[in-house]
A and B are shown apart, each in its own frame.
Chain A
Amino acid sequence: MWSAPWRAIARRPGITLATLVVLAMVAAGVSAPAVAPLDPVEQNVIDRLAPPFFMDGGTREHLLGTDHLGRDVLSRLIYGARIALIVGVTTVAVSGLVGLGIGLVAGYFGGWADTALMRLLDIQLSMPFMLLALTIIGILGPSLRNIVIVLALTGWVVYARIVRAEILSLRTREFVVACRSLGGSNARIIVKHLLPNVRSSVLVLSTIEVARMMLLESALSFLGLGVRPPTPSWGAMLADGRIYLASAWWLPTFPGLAISVTVLAVNTVGDGLRDYLDPELEV
């Protein structure tokens, strides 16, 4: 299944570009210590608020300038990719697995488990998420772990709903009925017949969810409820730079660009995957 989608992606230049951006971002995040020109947390008061290289007074030492503590913006952006990546991937892994499990159980076994799980899902959907997230993190204290917990709490719903709907329509199909009449166990039906058939939807959803989780993480960090300083997170960099908007416009501009370009690229890859794997999926 892997070579065909890549060929489809390569045929569309926008999606090729987006894929390259995502790969570059992953590479930057993974190898941040090797790629970043300077230490992202090292302060240098003499060099504070230096402009990017293309402006008057900019230097090649700090290509994108320095922040209010004299830290190198480019290096912080590269390390920030790491945080965005960690949050995006872990929250999607956790919420995807939970949502997949719940959707499977609800759709396959039905009955009271289905009713209870779907009620839970409805209740969760009718809560104002942002406010609850703020409250929970405000009370538990901001940290990378708590962010992942809160975001995973919101993420599972989408998977559960879509997986359940697909399982409901799969469980009466001939190949499932045939497997059961031949004496196949529930476990066998699930592993051999159901999971392979929801794989593409879950894959598409996960891609789009990575983008959404990155946006949410940056929003929480922007509000001061994200990872603790001095760890560089794009949202927190933006929040810090906001105060210097009038004198150092590059401080809030570059982190915002980094978030937008990354999320846009991930979303585009997700859209491309959907068009190829699962065009009917509505997310």
Chain B
Amino acid sequence: MHVWLLKRIAYSLLTLVTISLIVFSLVRLTGDPVLLFLPPDSPTSEVERLRRQLGFNDPVAVQYGRFLRSALAGDVGFSLKHQEPALSVVMARLPATLELATAAMLLTLVIALPAGIVSAVRRNSWLDRLVMAGVVFGQSMPTYWIGIMLILLVSVWAQLLPPFGRGTLAHLVMPSVTLALFFTARIARLTRSGMLNVLRTDYVRTARAKGLGASAVVLKHALRNAALPIVTIIGIEFGTLLGGTVITETVFAWPGLGRLAVDAISARDYPVVQTIVLLVSAMFVSINLVVDVLYRFIDPRVELG
């Protein structure tokens, strides 16, 4: 177990280092970073002096080491657009994104789990067909289009909810529904197939043969065993959901990380872009790590490789 855990942690770190390398090289691709600090008509001697001073003449490996060291200390650069350290610009937007992602995840679970379970238990019934049709629709419609259609129907025509911005609970409704739709479809489908696999097993047949009631079989025997893989998937999806907020936040002018990322990219504010990618990747990787560890901890049958 310990060896496995150490390996798993080392592996998460390796992933993060790879991502930081990608981010580092991408930002180097954008051209001479020194020119960003100087007025466009600066003399060459001035450019050269600043380049030496900021260490851009050092070998790339040294520069990467320095980048990594300061990133670990929380210094990921200075946002020229916001005139603030990039990290504080990003941290200010983090709560909004977490709020949206959490609301969407809760919504997803409340709808997707019962839907998936019911459609597996009543396989091939009209209810199952309905759920599966919903799943296909949910996975085929672009998130942002659903968001815009919601704004049109609910805000413009019915005038029930505010079309964009953040503040009250009413502001949260449409963005979280929009963000939740795709994931609801995914998790309902995975719950259904997970339950179908378990319902096929011998111990479920035995439980039925013993004369246990249908609800006891489904809830006690089947669901418990189907739950673990579903939990793993939910953990992974939460990470994807954080990335998925980019589009929803753009549609609803939600002041979170995703929108900040889009704005920062169009303003060529790379320190902020860099920080967001690193921060979200770190959250993503840690969630996966925690879920993986919990999974193997809860289910002793899982092979520790």
> What chain B residues lie within 8 Å of A259 (beta carbons)?
141-142, 145
Closest to A252 in B: B148
Interface string of A140-154 (1 = CB under 8 A from B): 100000000000000
Given contacts A138-B265, A219-B144, A259-B145, contact A264 B277 (CB under 8 A): no
Main SS at interface, chain B: helix
With A131-B280, A218-B142, A282-B193 as contacts: A139 and B26 at CB distance below 8 Å: yes
- On whether the beta carbons of A130 and B145 are closer than 8 Å, the reply is no
Which of B17-25, B66-74, B295-303 binds A? B17-25
As a 0/1 sequence over residues 21 to 53 of chain B, the CB contacts with chain A under 8 angstroms (1 = contact) are 011001101100000000000000000000000
List the A side residues contacting B273 at CB < 8 Å: 135, 138
Chain B residues near A193 (CB-CB < 8 A):
none
Task: Decide: A252 near B261, CB < 8 A? Known: A128-B277, A267-B140.
Answer: no
Tell me which of B18, B156, B250, B262 contacts A246 (CB under 8 A): B156
Binds A, one of B75-83, B88-96, B106-114, B237-245: B237-245
Kindly state whether residue B191 has any CB partner on chain A within 8 Å.
no
Decide if B240 touches A260 in the complex (CB within 8 Å).
no
Q: A127-B15, A263-B140 are in contact. List 19 more A-B contacts (CB 8 A).
A: A126-B15, A127-B284, A128-B239, A129-B243, A130-B247, A131-B280, A131-B281, A134-B262, A135-B265, A138-B266, A138-B273, A139-B27, A139-B29, A140-B29, A215-B142, A219-B247, A222-B144, A238-B145, A259-B142
Tell me whether A222 and B136 are in contact (CB under 8 A).
no
Q: A residues engaging B (CB < 8 A)? A: 122-123, 126-132, 134-136, 138-140, 211, 215, 218-219, 222-225, 235, 238, 242, 245-246, 249, 252-253, 255-256, 259-260, 263-264, 267-268, 271, 282
Q: Give chain B nearest CB distance to A219 CB in angstroms.
A: 6
Q: Are A264 and B280 in contact (CB under 8 A)?
A: no
Q: In the docked arrangement, what's the CA distance between A263 and B138, Å?
A: 11
CB pair A223 B285 closer than 8 Å? no
Given contacts A131-B243, A139-B30, A224-B266, contact A219 B277 (CB under 8 A): no
Q: Rank and list the top 5 A-B pairs by shortest CB-CB distance, nearest first.
A: A256-B145, A138-B265, A128-B243, A264-B140, A130-B243
Given A219-B247, A223-B247, CB of A132 within 8 Å of CB of B22: yes
Question: Which residues of chain A are near B22, meaning CB under 8 Å?
Answer: 132
What is the interface of chain B, defined by CB distance below 8 A to chain A?
A: 11-12, 14-15, 18-19, 22-23, 26-27, 29-30, 136-137, 139-145, 148-149, 151-152, 156, 193, 239-240, 242-244, 246-247, 250-251, 261-262, 265-266, 270, 273, 276-277, 280-281, 284-285, 288
User: Whole-angstrom distance between the alpha carbons of A89 and B277 in the complex?
Assistant: 29
A219 touches B284 (CB 8 A): no
Known: A127-B19, A130-B246, A245-B156. A260 touches B145 (CB 8 A): yes
Instruction: Please list 15 pairs of residues, one from A and one from B, whose beta carbons are closer than 8 Å in the complex, sorted by A's number.
Output: A123-B15, A126-B12, A126-B281, A127-B19, A128-B240, A128-B281, A138-B265, A139-B27, A218-B142, A235-B142, A252-B148, A255-B145, A256-B141, A256-B149, A263-B142
